[in-house]
């Protein structure tokens, strides 16, 4: 049996009948790029309803972070507390603004440890950038308390966490800005690059909205030197369509996660539990295991895809060669983490095969499988 990590071809087959006419319509309209393009305007309206907040669509999750931080005034010399076990873009955006990333360690579930945040605060600290890694919500209650106490801005990197919640509240709506990616690999995905910012204030929304379109107020008048970071009409159309089916996808991912958690052999495999106030959407399902690389090779021989998100934490990348930073949990986890398939097109047979194969590797053969 073959188990792909993702299956875009299957997703297209599933959607083709309904989505192709939408794509054709957009192509025939000639309305391709522009902040007033029909599907873009419609998408922003829907995001506004979904988040009850102030959205701005942009060209990628990376741009969402850059413009989001620009919008709330992060500038040269500011310190931004964040984690190192993220996609490189989270930290890159801090660096490109001339600010300084201050890395703190993470909890067993890979998310930022709120207790470490407080220890890292200095006079220069301006903001906390949390990353809701794998679609698991950070403890936003504790984090917002710290931010309030020290008067810090909060940026939520929600690139992997559309629809995730903490204490029933959507990730992205706690901080000053929530920054999302709609890259094809995400649960809520387009067919090209894309993203959006959710701003807490209308003023910030209005500023970012101009920034993403060359700072323009009107066709020929600019208020700022901005960027070219518009979401195109075609991606917006695809996202408008996929927003309708997203609930089902999240439900399926959560069911797969539950099945893995119930059936993987706990003696060898650590699956961080879903804590009481969390509602996680499982962009990734990450197990933490001994002999990770050997297991990965074993799975490959059994035709099961797996990935490592991320094998080298950012503070150990070449750019930080001269700085000695020690993050024990982050570094330990980077040697044990493995992302196993969790996409919504997996069949029950495939999911069982993944569980049996991993359990077999650790020697728990023929154990009874608990149902969904
Ligand atoms: C945690 C995190 N932050 C930021 C990004 C950047 O998003 P994009 O690829 O849309 O620029 C990603 C995307 O992979 C991500 O996973």
Enumerate domains of the chain plus CATH numbers: 8-243 (3.40.640.10), 246-361 (3.90.1150.10)
Beta bridge partners of 157: 131, 179
pLDDT < 50 positions in the chain: none
Q: How far is the CA of 62 from the centre of ligand 1 (A)?
A: 6
pLDDT at 366 (0 to 100): 54
Residue nearest to ligand 1 atom 12, measured at CA: 159
Report CA(82)–ligand 1 centroid distance (Å).
Answer: 15
Residue 372 CB neighbours (<10 A):
12
Ligand 1 first shell, C-beta below 6 A = 60-62, 86-87, 89-90, 131, 157, 159-160, 181, 183, 193, 195
Backbone angles phi, psi at 369, to 5 degrees: -90, 130
Q: pLDDT value at position 33? A: 96
Coil, strand, or helix at residue 179?
A: strand
What separation in Å is there between the alpha carbon of 372 and the centre of ligand 1?
A: 31
CA distance 97 to 99: 5
Of 58, 60, 61, best ligand 1 pocket probe by most atoms within 8 Å of the beta carbon: 61
Atom of ligand 1 at shortest range from CA of 185: 14
Contact at 8 Å (CB) between 284 and 188? no
Looking at residue 30, its pLDDT comes to 95
What's the token pair of residue 370? Answer: 């608990």
- CA 21 to centroid of ligand 1, rounded, Å: 29
CA of 83 to the centre of ligand 1 (A): 14
Mutate to test the pocket of ligand 1, among 87, 90, 136, 185 (most ligand atoms within 8 A of CB): 87
Q: How many CB atoms lie within 10 A of CB 221?
A: 8
120 is written with which tokens?
Answer: 């890292």
Alpha helix (H) ranges present in 121-232? Answer: 140-150, 202-211
pLDDT given at position 371: 61
Model-level pTM greater than 0.95?
yes
Distance, CA 270 to ligand 1 centroid (Å)? Answer: 25
The residue contributing the CA closest to ligand 1 atom 14 is: 87
- Centre of ligand 1 to C-alpha 320, Å, is 20
Contact 84, 312 (CB under 8 A): no
Angle formed at CA 72 by CA 213 and CA 212, multiple of 5 degrees = 10
Atom of ligand 1 nearest to the CA of 183: 10
Say if residues 195 and 62 touch (Cβ distance below 8 Å): yes
Name which residue sits closest to atom 13 of ligand 1, judged by CA: 159
């Amino acid at each position: 049996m073959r188990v792909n990590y993702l299956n875009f071809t299957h997703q297209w087959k599933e959607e083709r009948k309904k989505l192709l006419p939408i794509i054709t319509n957009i192509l025939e309209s000639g309305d391709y790029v522009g902040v007033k393009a029909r599907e873009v305007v419609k998408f922003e309206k829907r995001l506004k309803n979904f988040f009850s907040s102030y959205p701005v669509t942009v060209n990628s999750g990376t741009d969402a972070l850059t413009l989001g931080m620009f919008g709330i005034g992060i500038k040269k010399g500011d310190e931004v507390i964040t984690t190192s076990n993220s996609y490189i873009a989270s930290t890159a955006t801090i660096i490109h603004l001339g600010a300084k990333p201050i890395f703190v360690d993470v909890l067993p579930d890979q998310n930022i440890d709120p207790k470490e945040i407080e220890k890292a605060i200095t006079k220069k600290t301006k903001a906390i950038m949390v990353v809701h890694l794998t679609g698991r919500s950070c403890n936003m209650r504790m984090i917002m308390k710290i931010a309030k106490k020290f008067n810090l801005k909060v940026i939520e990197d929600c690139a992997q966490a559309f629809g995730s919640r903490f204490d029933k509240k959507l990730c992205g709506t706690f901080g000053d800005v929530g920054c999302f990616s709609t890259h094809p690999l995400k649960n809520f995905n387009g067919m090209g690059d894309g993203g959006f910012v959710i701003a807490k204030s209308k003023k910030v929304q209005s500023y970012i909205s101009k920034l993403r379109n060359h700072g323009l107020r009107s066709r020929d008048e600019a208020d700022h030197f901005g960027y070219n970071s518009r979401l195109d009409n075609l991606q917006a159309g695809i996202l408008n369509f996929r927003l309708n089916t997203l609930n089902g996808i999240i439900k399926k991912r959560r069911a797969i996660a539950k099945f893995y958690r119930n059936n993987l052999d706990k003696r060898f495999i650590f699956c961080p539990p879903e804590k009481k106030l969390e509602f996680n959407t499982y962009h990734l399902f990450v197990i933490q295991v001994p002999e990770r690389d050997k297991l990965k090779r074993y799975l490959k021989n059994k035709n099961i895809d797996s990935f490592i998100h991320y094998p080298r934490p950012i503070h150990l990348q070449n750019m930080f060669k001269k700085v000695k930073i020690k993050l024990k949990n982050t570094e330990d986890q980077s040697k044990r983490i493995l992302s196993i398939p969790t996409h919504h097109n997996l069949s029950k047979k495939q999911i069982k095969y993944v569980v049996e194969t991993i359990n077999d590797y650790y020697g728990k053969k023929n154990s009874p499988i608990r149902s969904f």
